[in-house]
A and B are shown apart, each in its own frame.
Chain A
Amino acid sequence: MTTPAISFAAGWYDEEKNKQLAYRWMSSQAKLLITGLSPEKDYWLYFLAGHSFQSWKPTLTIKAQGKIVGQVEIEASFSSYAFCFPGGESVEVEFSLAQSQQVPGDPRELGIMVSDIQLLELSSLNKPCPLAGWYLPEQEGLSPAEPRGRWIKQRATLALPATPKEEVIIELILGHPFSIDNSPNMKLFVNNIEIRAENITGDRERYILVIPADSGQILQLELDRFFPFEVSGDSRSLGIFIHEINLYSPQKKGIVLGEGWYEEESSEFYPFNWMSKAATIFLSSHWLEKNRYFSFYAFSEYANLSQELKIYLADKEVDSFPLLHKWNFYSLDLQKYGLLPKTSRSGWRAIKFYLNKIFPTRFHPQDTRELGARFSWFSGHTDGELHQKTSEFHQNARLNYQEMMAGKTVLTSFPQNLGVDLYAQCNIKPPCVYCLWTEMKKLEGKYVHEVVDEKTLAEYGPFFTSARTLVNCSFGEPLLHPRLKEILEFCARFRKFIEISTNGQAFTSEIIDILVGKPIFLYISLDAACRETYAKIRNDNWDSIIPRLVELNEKRKKHHNLPKIYMVFMPMKVNRDDLEEYFKLCRRIEADALVLRPLLYLYEPKIEARRGGYHFVYKDELLPEEEIKEIIAECRKLSKKYKIPLANQFEFGQRQEPQAADYERSLVDFQRS
């Protein structure tokens, strides 16, 4: 079998180049010779064309083997054109213009500029391919951060790849930056059959199309208007801007978010998608064969469990439950819903999510979108025990809330946060100057040698199952635990968030490898931004700590940015001047937040230590309230300056309303109160 080849016959001038592309001028008549075609197939001739005569719109007629296959007006700006013609062993294609132009000083008879001539055979396409009506890719998208997109004209066509054995999903991300008053209505056709109509108002909107199995299809986009120069300031006839076109095959992609979901955003935890009030999720038949349970994390802004999620399958409600406040793990039993893979062919099954109420707009006045709840980390699993424990966790969380609101003092529910004491040994000897080490070890008494590991956690039974977060509160360095890996894997299996405070001196490459990729919140207590201050609080190991933190940050980038790094700073007299440098350090290691933590208030403490040439007197280090207020105000400014979120633990227990613009807000999502 030969490969089709295109050669320029009569009527073409030599190739020229401009900044964007290589092209050839044609005179009023020009010919192409195409060889190596299959007589049984139809082909599309695709090319870009334009010219340099602003008000001129010549009509181009295309003939294949003497028969007219299309006629079109060519505008000055380069845009794409495409014509279908039947195959044959060798085909002569004729380009003819009724008029041509003459430029002073140029002896040539100029017709139009033609570039990027391609021959497309739809059954061999493996990705969506623009046909007619597309302007050149922009150097930049609508904003510099976006990848290159393309404007289309009032009408445009897109060739879809052949999918004879599977239905595919096409995701179109499109929009325009102009006033809503000028918003065009768009109709979408597949092979000339209208499939939907929309009014395009935003600059970035997602449209999801499920395309049935076929050997070659054309998607047409048709607008009722274009943006004239008076609106767009652009001499082209701009229709809408196509940011992205994605095609999802059920063989390659398991889960696709349908309509009702906004594009992925970053967050303090994991990239997430806002859901509007109703949204669809598509699960591929291949994915359904491998997974019984559908799982995700969801974040409700409602702390009173009044936001309810309903699940619909083919317009029938199959489940409903309240969403818990903040990020929580959910697991849905698809078999229970009767959601089974299609047996006949490869395709998609849709489930619909519906919220009874949205996140009130008064909390996000700058964001005009309809925001429901945040969702993240969609995946599947087959772990029946995980599903069962997750169900128990949710039942308990609801009961716990009800008992608390009813003022019950004897509880049938269990706590949602479990404090644990993983390890009682520490690598800093003598202990940090403010540490109550001696007193605590006396209190621990015989329990100092008690082993706490994953088996202990399992023995906690409902106390472990009910816990959303495990908080390590040991007087000891937890990263030294000989079974750290097993403990963290056990917690990760049951999707527990783990909060670990560490002095930062136990990091090794092995420990970093254990930590990365797990839902851990590492509170790293340095309290100092330089060697000298650090030596006054702890010891001389400053120089070995920072390279490890850099290593941790680099490695976690390959693992969804987990664990989260929270850098703890307890303001004291000794480190009062380190604050700004500490923010800089946080920025250097790309910390997720700076945690401002109070030095524990003690009544007339008698703790003193000489370290690093400094006499540390606990009661003198406790800063007065007015100074703490000043520090908090300073931290807020520095947080904005260095773009490091601030977690202010002086505000422990204060349940603040969400304010999207507030840098302090994102970090409290994970704090327990």
Chain B
Amino acid sequence: MSQPKIDRDELGLREGPLCREPWESYYILRRGILPCCYGNPIVAPMERWRETWNSSKLQEIRSYLSRGELSPYCRESLGCPIVQRVLAKERERQGTERATRPTWRRLINRLFFGLPARVYRKIFSRK
């Protein structure tokens, strides 16, 4: 008998954009308007709070996040723990990609050049 399928996100906690802040939050501060508390730099001066909510900058941020990606603005907001986590994952992925370079490349290196792995890594990482 098959087990009933469990909805792993039945509370709806994981669905939605990469970060919800630019939909759910908005900061009208003296130093300027921010789409989230970690936002950097400011997107508009304080007095423009009405029009900035749907400004092109916020639209762009929402557009990226709804696709599960960091916007260029988010990538500048390095104080944000979400950004830090995504960047750390990206770094990790890049590291893994290097570690698992294609077998043919490793074979060529061994046969023709006999270079130590660290030298080989340096050459390819420059590329």
Contacts and interface: CB of A to CB of B under 8 A. Distances in A.
A303 B14 CA distance: 9
Contacts of A421: 28-31, 46
B81 A653 contact: yes
Contact of A419 (B34, B54, B67, B82): B34
A657 B53 contact: no
A650 B38 CA distance: 12
A450 B30 CA distance: 8
A473 interface: yes
A103 interface: no
Contact of B12 (A303, A362, A411, A419): A303
B119 interface: no
B25 interface: yes
A333 B26 CA distance: 31
A29 interface: no
Contacts of B32: 443
Contact of A302 (B11, B26, B46, B54): B11
Interface stretch (A117-125, A512-520, A600-608): A600-608
Contact residue range for chain B? Answer: 35 or more
A463 B25 contact: no
A404 B45 contact: no
A50 to B, nearest CB: 55
A45 interface: no
A382 B89 CA distance: 53
Given A409-B63, A603-B78, A448 B25 contact: no
A61 interface: no
Nearest to A419: B27
A631 to B, nearest CB: 14
A395 B23 CA distance: 15
Interface in B62-84: 62-63, 66-67, 78-82, 84
A405 B29 contact: no
Interface of B: 6, 10-17, 19-21, 23-32, 34, 37-38, 42, 45-47, 49, 53-54, 58-60, 62-63, 66-67, 78-82, 84-85, 88
Interface of A: 301-306, 360, 362-363, 400, 403-405, 407-411, 413-421, 424, 440, 443-444, 447-448, 450, 452, 460, 463, 471, 473-475, 598, 600-603, 625, 649-653, 655-658, 672-673
Given A404-B17, A405-B15, 17 more contacts: A303-B12, A405-B16, A407-B17, A417-B25, A418-B25, A418-B28, A419-B37, A424-B30, A440-B31, A444-B31, A447-B31, A447-B47, A460-B49, A471-B25, A600-B79, A655-B14, A673-B19
